[in-house]
Amino acid sequence: MHAPSPSLRIGVALGGGAAQGFAHITVLEAIDELGLKPAAVAGTSMGAIIGAAYAAGMSGHDIRGFAINLFRRRSDFLGRLWQLRPRRISEVSLGLGQFDLQKTLRAFLPPFLPETVEGLAVPFTAIATDFYAGTEVVIRTGPLIPAIAASSAVPILFQPVVFDGRVMIDGGCVNPVPFDRLGGVDFVIASDVVSLPRGGPHRVPGPVQAAFGSVVLVLNTILKEKLRNGARPDVLINPPTGDFGPMDFTKAAAIIRMSEPGKDAVKRQIAAAIEARMAAGR
């Protein structure tokens, strides 16, 4: 299957979702297999992390291999994470929100990523939230690791990140799928990986599950409202993530496998939308 060779400048937007974000990988593989070369990439939270790797020149297949290898041995991953634990935990916080995300990213991300956002091979945008102003922050320049940490600082897990003199938390609080922040493109492919919590009246979530489930509900509500108000990408893909939760990082391979059967449908969806746009422009 091949997409038409468009003169369109294509942008890719990847949404937040923590571990559910591994499902973005099959979307990137579909884009690659169609022979499309994005002119810009934007991401929020986990979408910013994966998007930065993609903008650095890694293919979807490369990112798949890196993610599966990183989490292949659960004990190794947890051991490395344990080494990054906060040394002093206050009695009030009990460790919640105390991990330093910048240190964590430096420990786990590919070492060949550039030092700055503008050093990426493809123009890249990360979305963060200014904690005190309560506003969206669009990051297109500056040090890369702090930028994607600012976009990904989920308050339940990580310390807020000071970036450009402002205190930042996870960008999903304001813009969970940043398809409207891709400047200079003609055609936008967006991927939203968030799956709502599943269960019933006899399946009461525990405190951690309830906390992260609440975050997922907020992301979903913000995106629905955004779409209701008329903002819409040319293609919106919803890779399945099933019962996998935001914290299921060690299940990366299983999350990717779940989304893989839909890859051909994603390719057809993208190709058809590009053909329709090209036909309309003739």
Rg (CA), the chain: 18
Catalogue the active-site residues. Answer: 45, 170
Q: What are phi and psi of 46, to 5 degrees?
A: -60, -30
**At 117, which helix (H) or strand (E)?**
none
- Token reading at 57: 């020149």
CA distances (Å), origin 225, targets 17, 74, 127, 188, 245: 17, 38, 18, 19, 23
Separation CA 266–CA 143 (nearest Å) = 33
Strand partners, 137: 128
CB atoms within 10 A of CB 6: 16
Closest CA to 197 of 187, 182, 211, 180: 211
CA 53 – CA 46 distance, rounded (Å): 11
Cβ(171)–Cβ(127) below 8 Å: yes
117-150 in b/e form (b: 16+ CB < 10 A) is beebebbbbbbbbbbeeeebbebeeebbbbbbbb
Q: State residue 175 phi and psi, 5-degree precision.
A: -150, 85
In this structure, how many other beta carbons lie within 10 angstroms of the beta carbon of residue 28? 26
**DSSP code of residue 116:** B
